[in-house]
Amino acid sequence: VALNDLGKDASLDWIEDLAKTSLGYCVTALANQCHLNEEDIEQAFGEHYNRTPSEEQLPFPGVITVCEYICTLGGMNVIVTHRGRAGTNELLAANKMTHYFAGCLARDDGYPRKPHPAAFEAVLKTHNLPREETMAVGDRDIDVLAGQAAGIFTCLFGLKTDGAVAHLNIGSFDELYRYLCQGAANA
């Protein structure tokens, strides 16, 4: 939609693939392909993003069920995100999910960006999580690479990858829920 405001168009699938690397990479590629100024794209995107209420930014289907289940097992959910803390907290509150999370490392915390494992290492240490019982779930290769570099089990949501090989690949969070239920039944 932001590109349309600038008189350009591109495939949403292609934009999504670019954004999985990083938003900066996406903006640069779009600017080059569409012969636009990066700042104009960032501004148009920011205007659309800021107009989208948190209540309309829903979690992926099945995420709440997975988070609830982990909590009922005595497990812990922790977020490692490129988003800012305020925006992350706002999204969690709008979707009534705050109580499912024991912590959050956000852009504001100053850790190197994924795929660097520093944020995952900090979560493991801060929350005293055993590596062999910890899973990193993400929708981008950099999530998988960061988790692997931290020595934890990795799960890639979405079946598109640029080469990272996760321990588990899922097309939906219902699949992750079934996987977790199987593991609990076999424990």
Residues 47 and 126 reside in one and the same domain: no
Q: Is the distance from CB of 62 to CB of 172 less than 8 angstroms?
A: yes
User: Where does the pLDDT of residue 23 fall: very low under 50, low under 70, confident under 90, or very high at 90 and above?
Assistant: confident
3-state secondary structure of 131: helix
Residues 43 and 108 reside in one and the same domain: no
Q: Is the distance from CB of 173 to CB of 68 less than 8 angstroms?
A: no
Least confident range from 42-56, 119-133, 165-179: namely 42-56
Residues 31 and 75 reside in one and the same domain: no
At 149 the pLDDT is: 98
- The residue type found at 28 is T
Q: Does residue 118 lie within any of the structural domains?
A: yes
More confident residue, 13 or 166: 166
Domain that holds residue 11: 2-52
pLDDT at 176 over 90: yes
- What mean pLDDT is predicted for residues 50-57? 82
Least confident range from 39-43, 59-63, 108-112: namely 39-43
At 103 the pLDDT is: 97
CB atoms within 10 A of CB 132: 8
Q: Does residue 57 lie within any of the structural domains?
A: no
Q: Identify the burial level of 161 via C-beta atoms within 10 angstroms of its C-beta, where 0-12 means exposed, 13-18 middle and 19 or more buried.
A: middle
Residues 79 and 169 reside in one and the same domain: yes
Residues 152 and 68 reside in one and the same domain: yes
Q: Is the pTM of this model over 0.85?
A: no
Beta strands in 64-164 (DSSP E): 77-80, 101-105, 135-138, 153-157
Q: Number of structural domains, the chain?
A: 2
At 54 the pLDDT is: 82
- Kindly report the average pLDDT of the chain as a whole number: 92
Residues 101 and 16 reside in one and the same domain: no
